Amino acid sequence: MRVPCAAALGLLSFVSCAAAEEPAPALPAPDPPTEARALLEKAARRQGTAERVGEKAVTRFLARFEEIHILDPEKGNFQLDRSMQAYAVPAPGGRYERVRSEGSADGELSILGHDGRVGWIRTKQGVREFRDPVKDAPDRRDLENRARMLRLALRVFFLGNLASDRVPVRLLPDEEAVLPVGREGKTRKVACRVLERAEDRTTGEPPLVVRLQASTLDPVSAWLPGAGKEDPGWLLVLDYGEDLKRKAGTVPEGMRVPAWIEMFEVPAGEDAKPVLRIQASVDGLEIDPEKVPDSLFAPPK
């Protein structure tokens, strides 16, 4: 029971006096990060992305590749020279991510993209939107593969954002991961800390497993399981090339960016072997939103 001040004869006086005697309750301390979040935050500081959260979170980027190899069972294998790959999350209220992938193959420039509304391709014959489910199926799958690689890259290139988002993350047992290398069936073993980001029920994004090299906390792989038991999974593998010397200004200052990435399709089944689909050298990275405008993803006129 509150005791009013001696001179408090009215309600206003009572409230004023009580407020003076009873300080406002302190705000509760934020929950300490889980062990998984703490590990991600430490890895993000090492990577140079710990501050890229909230309003500073990276939602679009542009990567430059000196060379990128596409291994496609339907379109055939080909190499893009001096390729540019741009990616942006769906626009507010939109459903589809934006992608622009361009480069020269056999001396011919081609551009493949999605503006958040429809997929499209530009060749020397002109621009064609993907409207025919049969005729455009190979190009549509090619675009999906490139978009998948860039979506996975967004997650592991910017661990700060992954550590701060609302989706739960948990630690899985440490392991010596056997990671595929190239198309010759070679592998390398890496002692890893393993994290699993849960399914994002808001966006429908499936769960994601990220492996960090135990000694450096560099992300060395990202695993995306198939949507169903019979669907293939996807594995992005990253290599850092400690002797790589990039020109000044080609990647964001203070940020650790892998030198080489490879994406493998892993068919369903316990004995299935990974099949290389895309491999590329990462020669530059641009994250300034003004350098990656919405107009970049629109079909060329």
222-257 pLDDT, tens digit per residue, is 999 988 888 999 999 999 987 677 888 899 999 999
Pair type for strands 78-88 and 98-105: antiparallel
Q: CA angle, corner 177, sides to 173 and 178, nearest 5?
A: 155
pLDDT exceeds cutoff 80 at 9: no
pLDDT at residue 46, as a whole number? 96
* pTM for this prediction: 0.85
Q: Cα 16 to the chain's mean position, in Å?
A: 54
Helix (H, G, I), strand (E, B) or coil at 36: helix
37-297 belongs to CATH 2.50.20: yes
Question: Could you report the per-residue pLDDT of 259-285, keeping only the tens digit for each?
Answer: 999 999 999 887 888 999 999 999 999
Cβ(154)–Cβ(61) under 8 Å?
Answer: yes
- Residue predicted with more confidence, 185 or 263: 263
